[in-house]
Every structure is written in structure tokens, then in C-alpha cells.
């Protein structure tokens, strides 16, 4: 893996961002920056989200009622907006994860067939 | 579900728009700051760090823009656009808008005001705990055909002991008391009730305590509980009231409590409660009926179960005590039913009527919209050609309809406020809970719902019609009526037909009510109701213990009243006017076999002053009235009415015959019939005339009497003087229920007047709307056919022919509408038969005259546009384009 930034950043499949956010929030309430950090780090920086695009996605999740938001103090005493999964969001994550697996398997089958 | 959540969140977002913006701003700033810090910690210079952070973040403005889209402002933007456009379109045609909004406001306003009455009278629960478990337990007196009669104590005790369906039962006797002591003597309504009253009604005093079980015993019952209003008014809300004593009918009682505000059961004006505590002799008495019985159903017991079990007990009592209880059943009426039962059919009828009025209004507005849609065909076609989807166009048109409906609804609330004020001023006082009528939240929700529904009814069809234009044709045709023309015309005709049909149904209903109301005005009461003042007196037993005292009091009082200036003559009768349950007892006639048990018959008996019939203006048709020689010690005499003579002494001369009343104590004396009086409708216009008997007050004194004064001047002016005369005979004796006879009679028919007047009003409104509807459709059709009319005229058609042609077209619609309406009315008026008085629900006269009136109005509405058409100048018409 070449880690030259900006060149080999992998594009996300459409709709995957929301799933990643939901999955990240399974670990507990987190702010936008923290979510971006976590996704970047756990994917070994392969999945570099364009961090700005995180915010419209979060608004959508709020609208659908899958997450709730709350202003809290960070450990460094700064005010940040923490997002938290709702029960509805948990259910949605299960659905999306299942979908995702189906697609990945399908793609894998196609790729192996050649 | 999630759709709703989203809509709700959208609304929330809209309301918090400013906050959302600033929060997003802050959270992005936080993100960038953290990122910069992270890079600095990794050893970069602040500038480089900032640069990299921004690059990683991407396009900030776009992120904000996308977020805004997520908040759904776009959704509201479209709505706002539609609303603005709709408002512009409405403003462009102020005539159309005004006509539509006013029509809707009238319809919605009428519905709102009637619903607010229905809401507070029928829908709002009674102010008791679990009010639907409280049931009135009446005696069904098949002998006198009174289905809500009162009980004897012995029967009450048996019902209470033997049933398993009521958790508790109470016996109540409505009383009135002379409240004396500090201040003016006052007549207060009250009730004597067993201590179980409080567990049946589930009410506890706000001050002090309820009756205890041992206060049900005679001797320990000298206590009283006050109504909140009386406590406030007469005792200045004295917090130390408990323990003080008051004088009721000359007996001293200790106040032990005050009921919560607004609690007045069983009467509207019950001001004082005392323990029932009958003496042992009365407790074992089965034939004296004096108790109103109320019960609270056990949890889980249905009304039907209760009816079955109580009915079985009644049967048992009938066979156990055949000489007394034969043909006495039991009749259970839920309290709510009892309170609103008489007014419910009238109110539901009115609600149905205003519903029809609103439908007619909708039909009119739909017609207006169809006409307008035709005029806007090109506009809509152009929008469609520019790529507007069909749903987008329907949405736009529907937004306009919604806007109209909301304007109409908003104005309608004001119409309703005004209407309610008017309604209250002439509505009968015996509508229960009238004072509580108001436009509350539930009414407003109703209005909103009705407005939305209205928009659906009048807006949807025109919107769908207009949204599927045949674009090619319209755009090609260059202006004149497009392809939708024929379809739209058919829709308009259908609307007119249904309008006429609905208006006819309303008119016939109103006609029937008005006819029965005019029948009521012609009721022959059997006495002269004008210039009569009536008032009620009740002498307390504590002060007037023996018959002689009672006799003396009334003799003295009547002497004074007869000498009063402005009074022609004054008399008295023991019964209360227009009371449905007169004092009555079993009787037998000399020479006829005595009838006992189920065979026995009751007649009302009344003590009267000798001049009573003269005062009332009731003719004595046979024999003589009572005179001053019919006193104590002289032979006992009785006067009967014509119905009595007809039923019990058919074909005989009643004069000289003797009858006796079955009394409990000792052998009953014989009364000789000395006169026969004309029948009167003393118990009200809607009950049949029953046999009646009258005895002289001097021979059979009664402590409670109704005074009747025939006056030379306006009887209402003598009210105060009458009170003073009573006080001058006994300064502690209040007189109450002072009313003119006209007032009493008006109150009796006020409910009917109310519904007749309102239904008449609604029917008139319907007629007007329908006439406007016909006129509108015909005028439009004439305007559209100007070209055709011109050609016909150019080809030699006469004005008369044209007039006939157009009027015929309109009258065909009218005839179809009327036939349809007649069928519906014939089926529907049956439901209002119980509201009619001596008029059949399918009264031929009404079913002929009303359609003729409607046809006449329709003819007029047709004729005006037709004449316009006939006046068309063929040259102008042919050039018209």
C-alpha cells in the first residue's frame, strides 16, 4: 500500500459512509472529528473520508432518527457535539451490514470467476 | 412510522434553523482545530498544519450546503413557493377568492358552532369519577305509563340487598328547604340522601366530611352538607363553617361539610344535602313512592347484565307483593343518557344538517374551481410542457385549495364565535351544561380537520381533472374551450344535481320541524295562559304541624292576594304545573267492583282553592265548582275532569257518584262528585290528557301549594309584591319559582323552537347556496355557448326558443336533483320522527310544497342567465373569439 496522500485515497462506495459512521458509534458516543479519526486509523488510513462530507451524512442520520446529538465537554475541556446511536440506528446498522456483506460477496464471486 | 418521525424532525429543524446553522459552524470549527493541533503535534508548522487540515476537510461551503439540504429546507421551500404562487393566483381573482372563502367560512363556521355545542353537551364526560359507571335506577310504572318513576323505600331496600351488579346504591329524595336564621329567609333546593350517596357519586367534601353510616338513622341525622356556591354566597366561604348550625325548615342542623365547586347532583340547583334517615314506618312502606335511586355498577358488569338482574328482581317483587307492585318494573338509564338524552337527537340532527350545508358549500367551491381550471388550462399545459410532473401540478393546485380552505376555516372560527353568541342568547335553558359551551382546543382541532377535509372534497377532483390536459390540443387550439370542456361540464352538472338534492333534504327536514312547531303554538291548553303569575310555597312541618294551621295560612294569604292591586283573582293548587309526576293514588268508585293489584288504577288528586277553575279560566262543564260551604265537616266533595268521566263512568251521569282514595291509615272516606271540568294539558303538550280529580283545600289541606294569580296588568310586574304579601303573613316563609305562565310554557317548547329555528336557518342557507350554484353553472354555460347561440340566432331561432332551450337545460338538472332529494328525504326524515309533534315524518303537504318552492327558486336562478343569452346580439356573438 502506498501511503501517498491524495493519490491513492480509496473512494467510498455510495452509502457506505453512513454505515461506517453507525459502526463507529457502536463503540459509544463520539464527535465528528473522533469519528473521522477512528475510521482513518482503523482502516490504516486507506479509507480517508473527505472529512467535510461527514457532516451532511450526520445530519441525515439525525433526520432519520438513527442518531441523537448532544453538546458535551471533551476530556480537554472543549465543547464538542457528541453523536449517539439510537435503538433505531442499531437496527439500521444490522440491515446495512447485511446488505454490505451481500454486495462484497457478490463482487468477490465475480472477481474470482475469471 | 419513520415517515412521521422524519416529518416531525423536519418541522423541528425548521423551527431551529438559526441554531442548527451555528451549531454546524461550531462543530466544523472544532473539527478543524483538532486536526490542526494533531498536525502540529506531529511536528508541522502552524501554517502547514492549517493547510493540510483544510485539504483533508474538503469543501467547507459544499458540506454546509449539503447539510442544509439534509435538513430538508428544500421541502419547505417548495411548499413556500407553492403557497406564494397560490396566494398570487388567489389575489389575481379577488372575486372568485372572496366568493369561495365566504362560502367556506359560512359552512365551516356553522359546523364549528354546532360541534362546539355537541362537544360540551354530549362529548365531554360528566364531572364525576368514572361517570359512565353511574346508572339511574327508575321504576317503570306501566300502570301510569311513566317509565321514569320513583321508588318506595321498601322496594329500594330489596333492590339494594338482592342485586349483585351494583357496588353501591343510594336513595335520594329531592327536597326544598326554607333556609332561615341570619339574613333573609331563602328557599334552597336540596336533597336527602343515604350515606351511600358519596360512594356512588365518588365525591368527597372539600371541607369537612361526608355522612356516616349512623347518620342514616333517625335522631342522629341533624346534619347538613352545603353546596360550594351556597357556602360562598351565604356564608362568605367561612373556613370555620363546620360545626356551625343552620335552620332548614325550622329544624336546626349542624354543618359537617362543603361539596366541591360545581357539584350539584341530583338537581341543577341542589344547594344542600341532608341524611335521608326515614322513620321505621316509612322504611317498611312499599306503596309510597318518593325516592330517586342511583347506583354504581361493579367493575366489569355491563349495563345489559345489570338490566337483566334488576329486571329479575322486579319480577320477583311483582309476584311477591301483587297488590302493590303489580305492573311496576325497573328501568336502568345511564347517568350520561339521563342528562343529555332528550337533547341528543336534536343536536345530532343539527350536526347532520350543518354537515349537508358544508357539502353544498363544497360543491359550489368545486364548481368555481372547475370553471377556473378551464380558464387555466393553457397555463397548466405550458407548465407541463416545461417539464412539471403531474404530481407537481396536482400539488400546486391542491396547495391553492388548501389555502382557500384554511382562509375559510380561519374566518369560519370567527363566524362560529359570533354564531355561538347568538345561539346562546336564544337557546333553551334546559339544554344541559349550556354554560360550559365554548370553543376549546378540541373544537379548534375539529375545525382544522373539517377545513382539511373540505379542501380534499372540493379541491381534489378539479386538481386531478386539470392535471391531465391534452396538451397538443390545448396549445394548438389557441384559447377556446379545450378537450376537458365536456368532461368538466359533466362534473359541474353532477355537482349541481347533488346540491339541489341535498338542499331539498334539508328544506324538507326544516319544513317538518317548523310545521310541528306551529302545531305546538295551537295547542289547546284547557286554560287561558296569558296574564297568569304562578309561584310555589312549601310550609315547613316544624311550624305548620296540623292541618288547621296550614288551612289558616293559605286562607289568610289568598285573601291578601285577592286584594292586591293589579290582581283580578288569586287561587292555589297543590300540584306543580307541567310536572310529569303528579301526586296520585289508587281509587275506587262506589258501585263498581274494587280493583286491586295489577287491575288497580291510579289517578292524580289535587287540593285546590274554591276559585281555582275561575282563576285558570277552565270551564266547569257540568255541576258546580267548589264554594265557601265546602269546608271541613261538610260533606266531602270532588270534581273530576272530562277524561275521568269518559273512562270510568261512560254513559252515566257522574254527578252524585262517589269515589274514594285508597289511603294507608284507616278506612277511606267517600267523596261525592259535584262537578266535571274541561280537560287541561297540565302535564305538558306532549303527554296525553289523563284522568284527574280535584278536592277542596279546605277539606284536604296540603302544605305545598302553587299560587296562581290572574292579573289585570303584566304579570311579571307583580313578582316583588307577591313575595312581600307572603312575608307579611309569615316573615320566615320564602316563596319561589315565581314565573308567568307564558314563561313556563315557552320553556317547555324552547328546545323545539331552538331546533326548528336553527334547522330553518341552515335550510335557508342551503337554498341560497344551491341557487347560487345553479346560477353559476348556467351563467358559465351560457357564456361558453355565446358562439353557438349567435349561430342559432343568425339561423333564425327566436328569443323565446333560446330562452326555453337554456331554461329547459337547467330545469332538467333541477328535476333530477329534486327527484333524488325526495328519495333521500323520504328515507332520512324517519330518523327525526321523535322530534315531530303531530306531524308525520312523511307529511304529504311538506313533501309537495317544499319541492315546488325549490323548483321556483331554481327557475329564477336559471332564468337570469337565460335572459342574458337571449339578449345576445348575433353579430357580436359571431365575432366573439
Q: Got the DSSP string for A30-92?
A: EEHHHHHHHHHHHTTTSS---GGGHHHHHHHHHHHTSEEEEEEE-TTS-EEEEEEE-HHHHHH
Q: Dump pLDDT digits (tens) for B577-596.
A: 776 666 777 788 888 877 66
Number of Cβ atoms within 10 Å of the Cβ of B646: 15
Q: Is residue B420 part of a domain?
A: yes
- The backbone region for B666, taken as left when phi is positive above 0, alpha when psi lies in -120 to 50, beta otherwise, is left
Please tell me whether the peptide bond between B868 and the residue prior to it is cis, using omega within 30 degrees of 0.
Answer: no
Using the beta-carbon criterion (under 8 Å), do B70 and A56 form an inter-chain contact?
yes
Question: How far apart (Å, rounded) are the C-alpha atoms in residues B463 and B470?
Answer: 15
Using the beta-carbon criterion (under 8 Å), do B66 and A55 form an inter-chain contact?
yes
Which residues have CB under 8 Å from A67's CB, separation 6+?
A: A21, A22, A25, A58, A61, A83, A84, A85, A86, A89
Q: Of B678, B697, B732, which residue constitutes the final position of a domain? A: B732
| Same-domain pairing of B315 and B441 | no
Residues of A in contact with B72 (CB under 8 A): 63
Pairs of CB atoms within 8 A across A/B: 77
Which residues have CB under 8 Å from A53's CB, separation 6+?
A: A17, B58, B63, B66
Which pLDDT band holds residue B734 (cuts at 50, 70, 90)?
confident
Q: Dump pLDDT digits (tens) for B332-365.
A: 999 988 888 778 888 888 899 999 999 999 998 8
| Same-domain pairing of B253 and B395 | no
Using the beta-carbon criterion (under 8 Å), do B26 and A32 form an inter-chain contact?
no
Return the H-helix or E-strand segment holding B295.
strand B292-297
Mean pLDDT of the region B101-124: 89
3-state secondary structure B367-392: HHHHHHHHHCHHHHHHHHHCCCCHHH
Which pLDDT band holds residue B663 (cuts at 50, 70, 90)?
low
Which grid cell sits at B535?
309561584
Q: Residue B479: its pLDDT value, please?
A: 46
Judged on CB neighbours under 10 Å (0-12, 13-18, 19+), B148 is: middle
% of chain B exceeding 90 in pLDDT: 32
Q: Residue B581: its pLDDT value, please?
A: 63
Query: Quick check: B106 pLDDT over 80?
Result: yes
Using the beta-carbon criterion (under 8 Å), do B59 and A56 form an inter-chain contact?
no
Q: Dump pLDDT digits (tens) for B144-153.
A: 778 888 899 9
| Same-domain pairing of B869 and B777 | yes
Shortest CA distance from A35: residue in chain B:
B31
Which pLDDT band holds residue B473 (cuts at 50, 70, 90)?
low
Interface mutation vs chain A, best among B59, B70, B76, most A CBs within 10 Å: B70
Q: Residue A4: its pLDDT value, please?
A: 38
Backbone CA torsion sign across B558, B564, B569, B572: negative
User: Could you report the predicted ipTM of this complex, rounded to two decimals?
Assistant: 0.84
Using the beta-carbon criterion (under 8 Å), do B63 and A81 form an inter-chain contact?
no
Mean pLDDT of the region B562-578: 88
Strands B166-180 and B223-226, sheet pairing:
unpaired
Residues of A in contact with B28 (CB under 8 A): 32, 52, 55
Mean pLDDT of the region B430-434: 68
Q: Residue B880: its pLDDT value, please?
A: 57
Question: How far apart (Å, rounded) are the C-alpha atoms in residues B275 and B222?
Answer: 8
Q: Is residue B604 part of a domain?
A: yes
Q: Is residue B100 part of a domain?
A: no
Which grid cell sits at B840?
308525520
Residue with the three cell numbers 454546509: B64
* A74–chain B nearest CA distance, Å: 11
Q: Which residues of B touch A (CB under 8 A)?
A: 2, 5-6, 9-10, 13, 23-24, 26-28, 30-31, 33-35, 55-60, 62-64, 66-67, 69-72
Structural domain harbouring B196: 143-326
* A61–chain B nearest CA distance, Å: 9
Question: What kind of fold does domain A16-113 have according to CATH?
Answer: Arc Repressor Mutant, subunit A (1.10.10)
A52 inside 8 A of chain B by CB? yes
| Same-domain pairing of B601 and B648 | yes
Using the beta-carbon criterion (under 8 Å), do A65 and B5 form an inter-chain contact?
yes
- The backbone region for A65, taken as left when phi is positive above 0, alpha when psi lies in -120 to 50, beta otherwise, is left
Question: How far apart (Å, rounded) are the C-alpha atoms in residues B870 and B203?
Answer: 76
Q: Is residue B112 part of a domain?
A: no
Using the beta-carbon criterion (under 8 Å), do A65 and B34 form an inter-chain contact?
no
Query: Quick check: B516 pLDDT over 80?
Result: yes
Q: Residue B63: its pLDDT value, please?
A: 81
| Same-domain pairing of B162 and B203 | yes
Question: How far apart (Å, rounded) are the C-alpha atoms in residues B488 and B482?
Answer: 10
Mean pLDDT of the region B696-704: 90
Cα R_g (chain B), whole angstroms: 38
Q: Residue B475: its pLDDT value, please?
A: 58
Which grid cell sits at B486?
365536456
| Same-domain pairing of B696 and B762 | no
Return the H-helix or E-strand segment holding B107.
helix B94-118
Interface mutation vs chain A, best among B34, B54, B74, most A CBs within 10 Å: B34
Which pLDDT band holds residue A2 (cuts at 50, 70, 90)?
very low
Q: Is residue B132 part of a domain?
A: no
Shortest CA distance from B67: residue in chain A:
A56
Of B27, B31, B66, the CB nearest to A56: B66
Mean pLDDT of the region B294-302: 94
| Same-domain pairing of B354 and B503 | yes
Shortest CA distance from B33: residue in chain A:
A33
A6 inside 8 A of chain B by CB? yes
* Average pLDDT across chain A, whole number: 82
Q: Residue A12: its pLDDT value, please?
A: 63
Which pLDDT band holds residue B293 (cuts at 50, 70, 90)?
very high
Q: Of B71, B92, B108, which residue constitutes the final position of a domain? A: B71
| Same-domain pairing of B367 and B505 | yes
Q: Of B34, B55, B71, which residue constitutes the final position of a domain? A: B71
Mean pLDDT of the region B448-460: 87
Q: How far is CA B821 from CA B357, B500, B842, in A?
A: 14, 7, 13
A27 inside 8 A of chain B by CB? no
E strand residue ranges, B555-654 = 567-573, 584-589, 602-608, 620-623, 637-641
CA B811-B815-B820 angle, 5° bins: 150
* Residue of B770, B741, B745 lying closest to B860 (CA atoms): B770
* Average pLDDT across chain B, whole number: 85
Mean pLDDT of the region B707-719: 90
Residues of A in contact with B23 (CB under 8 A): 71, 81
Q: Is residue B79 part of a domain?
A: no
Of B28, B31, B72, the CB nearest to A63: B72
For residues B563 and A64, the model is more confident at: B563
3-state secondary structure B661-724: ECCCCCCCCCEEEEEEECCCCCCCCCCCCCCCEEEECCCCCCCEEEEEEEECCCHHHHHHHHHH
Question: How far apart (Å, rounded) are the C-alpha atoms in residues B427 and B433?
Answer: 12
How many structural domains are present in chain B? 4
Using the beta-carbon criterion (under 8 Å), do B6 and A64 form an inter-chain contact?
yes
Question: How far apart (Å, rounded) are the C-alpha atoms in residues A39 and A21?
Answer: 8
Residues of A in contact with B36 (CB under 8 A): none
A32 inside 8 A of chain B by CB? yes
Q: SS3 of B767, please?
A: helix
| Contact criterion met (CB below 8 Å) for B375 and B783 | no
Using the beta-carbon criterion (under 8 Å), do B58 and A51 form an inter-chain contact?
yes
The number of C-alpha atoms within 13 Å of B164 and in the hemisphere containing its C-beta is 4
| Same-domain pairing of B719 and B761 | no
Using the beta-carbon criterion (under 8 Å), do B30 and A80 form an inter-chain contact?
yes
Residues of A in contact with B35 (CB under 8 A): 33, 51
Mean pLDDT of the region A55-74: 88
CA diameter of chain A: 55
| Contact criterion met (CB below 8 Å) for B404 and B90 | yes
Q: Residue B357: its pLDDT value, please?
A: 92
| Same-domain pairing of B572 and B709 | yes
Question: How far apart (Å, rounded) are the C-alpha atoms in residues B179 and B274?
Answer: 13
Flag the least confident range among B209-223, B314-328, B398-412, B861-875.
B861-875
Q: Is residue B157 part of a domain?
A: yes
Q: SS3 of A11, please?
A: coil
Shortest CA distance from A78: residue in chain B:
B30
| Same-domain pairing of B416 and B556 | no
* A51–chain B nearest CA distance, Å: 4
A64 inside 8 A of chain B by CB? yes
| Same-domain pairing of B664 and B633 | yes
Residues of A in contact with B26 (CB under 8 A): 79, 81
Total count of residues recorded for chain A: 114
Residues of A in contact with B64 (CB under 8 A): 55
Q: Is residue B611 part of a domain?
A: yes
Query: Quick check: B843 pLDDT over 70?
Result: yes
* A63–chain B nearest CA distance, Å: 6
Query: Quick check: B164 pLDDT over 70?
Result: yes
For residues B479 and B40, the model is more confident at: B40
Amino acid at each position: 500500500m502506498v501511503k501517498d496522500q491524495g493519490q491513492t485515497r480509496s473512494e467510498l462506495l455510495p452509502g457506505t459512509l453512513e454505515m461506517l459512521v453507525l459502526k463507529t458509534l457502536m463503540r459509544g458516543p463520539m464527535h465528528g472529528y473522533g469519528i473521522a479519526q477512528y475510521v482513518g486509523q482503523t482502516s490504516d488510513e486507506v479509507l480517508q473520508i473527505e472529512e467535510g462530507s461527514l457532516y451532511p451524512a450526520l445530519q441525515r442520520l439525525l433526520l432519520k432518527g438513527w442518531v441523537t446529538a448532544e453538546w458535551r465537554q471533551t476530556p480537554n475541556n472543549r465543547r464538542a457535539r457528541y453523536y449517539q446511536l439510537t435503538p433505531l440506528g442499531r437496527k439500521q446498522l444490522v440491515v446495512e451490514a447485511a446488505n454490505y456483506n451481500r454486495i462484497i460477496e457478490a463482487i468477490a464471486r465475480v472477481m474470482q470467476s475469471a | 412510522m419513520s415517515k412521521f418521525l422524519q416529518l416531525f424532525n423536519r418541522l423541528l429543524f425548521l423551527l431551529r434553523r438559526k441554531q442548527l446553522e451555528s451549531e454546524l459552524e461550531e462543530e466544523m470549527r472544532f473539527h478543524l482545530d483538532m486536526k490542526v493541533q494533531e498536525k502540529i503535534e506531529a511536528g508541522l508548522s502552524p501554517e502547514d498544519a492549517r493547510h493540510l487540515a483544510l485539504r483533508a476537510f474538503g469543501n467547507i461551503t459544499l458540506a454546509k450546503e449539503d447539510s442544509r439540504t439534509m435538513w430538508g429546507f428544500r421541502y419547505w421551500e417548495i411548499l413556500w413557493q407553492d403557497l406564494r404562487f397560490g396566494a398570487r393566483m388567489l389575489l389575481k381573482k379577488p372575486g372568485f377568492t372572496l366568493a369561495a372563502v365566504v362560502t367556506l367560512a359560512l359552512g365551516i363556521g356553522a359546523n364549528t358552532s354546532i360541534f362546539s355545542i355537541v362537544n360540551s353537551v354530549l362529548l365531554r364526560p360528566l364531572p364525576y369519577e368514572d361517570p359512565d359507571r353511574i346508572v339511574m335506577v327508575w321504576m317503570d310504572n306501566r300502570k301510569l305509563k311513566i317509565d321514569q318513576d320513583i321508588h318506595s323505600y321498601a322496594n329500594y331496600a330489596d333492590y339494594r340487598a338482592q342485586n349483585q351488579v351494583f357496588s353501591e346504591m343510594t336513595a335520594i329524595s329531592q327536597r326544598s328547604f326554607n333556609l332561615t336564621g341570619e339574613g333573609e329567609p331563602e328557599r334552597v333546593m336540596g336533597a336527602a340522601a343515604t350515606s351511600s350517596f358519596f360512594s356512588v357519586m365518588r365525591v368527597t367534601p372539600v371541607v369537612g366530611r361526608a355522612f356516616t353510616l349512623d347518620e342514616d338513622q333517625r335522631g342522629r341525622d341533624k346534619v347538613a352538607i352545603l353546596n360550594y356556591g351556597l357556602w360562598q354566597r351565604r356564608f362568605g366561604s367561612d373556613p370555620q363553617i363546620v360545626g356551625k348550625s343552620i335552620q332548614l325548615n325550622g329544624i336546626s342542623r349542624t354543618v359537617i361539610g362543603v361539596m366541591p365547586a360545581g357539584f350539584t347532583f341530583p338537581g341543577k340547583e341542589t344547594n344542600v344535602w341532608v341524611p335521608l334517615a326515614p322513620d321505621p314506618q316509612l322504611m317498611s312502606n312499599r306503596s309510597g313512592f318518593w325516592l330517586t335511586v342511583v347506583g354504581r355498577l361493579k367493575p366489569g358488569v355491563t349495563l345489559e347484565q345489570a338490566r337483566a338482574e334488576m329486571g329479575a328482581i322486579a319480577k320477583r317483587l311483582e309476584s311477591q307483593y301483587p297488590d302493590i307492585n303489580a305492573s311496576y318494573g325497573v328501568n336502568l338509564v345511564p347517568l350520561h343518557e339521563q342528562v343529555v338524552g332528550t337533547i341528543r337527537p336534536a343536536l345530532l340532527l343539527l350536526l347532520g344538517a350543518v354537515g349537508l350545508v358544508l357539502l353544498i358549500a363544497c360543491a359550489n367551491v368545486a364548481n368555481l374551481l372547475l370553471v377556473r381550471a378551464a380558464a387555466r388550462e393553457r397555463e397548466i399545459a405550458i407548465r407541463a410542457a416545461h417539464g412539471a410532473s403531474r404530481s407537481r401540478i396536482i400539488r400546486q393546485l391542491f396547495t391553492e385549495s388548501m389555502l382557500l380552505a384554511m382562509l375559510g376555516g380561519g374566518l369560519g372560527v370567527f363566524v362560529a364565535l359570533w354564531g355561538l353568541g347568538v345561539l346562546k342568547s336564544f337557546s333553551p335553558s334546559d339544554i344541559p351544561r349550556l354554560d360550559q359551551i365554548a370553543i376549546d382546543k378540541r373544537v379548534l382541532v375539529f375545525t382544522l380537520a373539517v377545513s382539511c377535509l373540505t379542501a380534499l372534497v372540493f379541491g381534489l377532483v378539479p386538481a386531478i381533472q386539470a392535471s391531465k390536459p391534452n396538451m397538443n390540443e390545448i396549445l394548438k387550439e389557441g384559447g377556446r374551450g379545450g378537450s376537458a370542456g365536456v368532461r368538466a361540464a359533466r362534473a359541474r352538472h353532477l355537482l349541481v344535481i347533488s346540491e339541489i338534492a341535498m338542499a331539498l333534504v334539508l328544506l324538507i327536514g326544516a319544513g317538518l320541524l317548523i310545521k310541528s312547531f306551529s302545531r305546538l303554538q295551537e295547542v289547546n291548553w284547557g286554560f287561558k295562559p296569558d296574564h297568569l303569575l304562578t309561584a310555589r310555597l312549601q310550609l315547613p312541618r316544624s311550624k305548620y304541624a296540623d292541618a288547621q294551621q296550614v288551612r289558616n295560612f293559605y286562607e289568610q294569604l289568598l285573601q291578601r292576594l285577592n286584594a292586591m292591586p293589579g290582581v283580578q283573582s288569586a287561587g292555589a293548587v297543590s300540584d306543580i304545573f307541567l310536572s310529569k309526576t303528579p301526586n296520585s293514588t289508587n281509587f275506587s268508585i262506589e258501585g263498581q267492583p274494587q280493583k286491586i293489584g295489577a287491575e288497580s288504577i291510579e289517578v292524580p288528586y289535587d287540593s285546590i282553592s274554591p276559585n281555582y277553575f275561575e282563576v285558570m279560566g277552565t270551564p266547569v262543564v257540568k255541576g258546580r265548582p267548589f264554594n265557601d260551604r265546602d269546608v271541613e265537616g261538610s260533606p266531602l266533595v270532588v270534581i273530576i275532569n272530562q277524561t275521568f268521566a269518559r273512562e270510568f263512568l261512560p254513559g252515566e251521569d257522574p254527578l252524585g257518584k262517589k269515589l274514594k282514595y285508597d289511603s294507608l291509615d284507616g278506612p277511606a272516606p267517600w267523596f261525592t262528585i259535584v262537578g266535571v271540568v274541561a280537560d287541561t294539558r297540565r302535564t305538558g303538550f306532549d303527554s296525553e290528557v289523563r284522568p284527574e280529580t280535584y278536592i277542596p283545600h279546605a277539606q284536604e289541606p296540603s302544605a305545598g301549594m302553587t299560587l296562581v294569580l290572574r292579573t289585570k296588568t303584566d304579570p311579571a310586574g307583580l313578582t316583588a309584591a307577591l313575595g312581600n304579601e307572603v312575608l307579611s303573613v309569615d316573615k320566615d316563609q320564602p316563596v319561589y319559582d315565581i314565573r308567568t305562565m307564558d314563561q313556563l310554557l315557552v320553556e317547555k317548547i324552547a328546545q323545539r323552537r331552538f331546533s326548528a329555528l336553527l334547522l330553518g336557518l341552515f335550510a335557508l342557507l342551503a337554498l341560497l347556496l344551491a341557487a347560487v350554484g345553479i346560477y353559476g353553472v348556467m351563467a358559465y354555460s351560457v357564456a361558453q355557448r355565446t358562439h353557438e347561440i349567435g349561430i342559432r340566432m343568425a339561423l333564425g331561432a327566436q328569443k323565446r326558443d333560446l330562452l326555453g332551450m337554456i331554461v329547459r337545460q337547467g330545469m332538467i338538472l333541477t328535476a333530477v336533483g329534486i327527484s333524488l332529494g325526495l328519495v333521500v328525504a323520504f328515507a332520512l326524515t324517519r330518523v327525526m320522527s321523535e322530534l315531530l309533534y303531530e306531524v308525520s315524518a312523511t307529511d304529504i303537504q311538506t313533501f309537495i310544497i317544499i319541492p315546488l318552492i325549490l323548483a321556483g327558486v331554481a327557475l329564477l336562478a336559471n332564468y337570469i342567465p337565460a335572459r342574458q343569452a337571449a339578449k345576445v346580439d348575433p353579430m357580436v356573438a359571431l365575432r366573439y373569439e
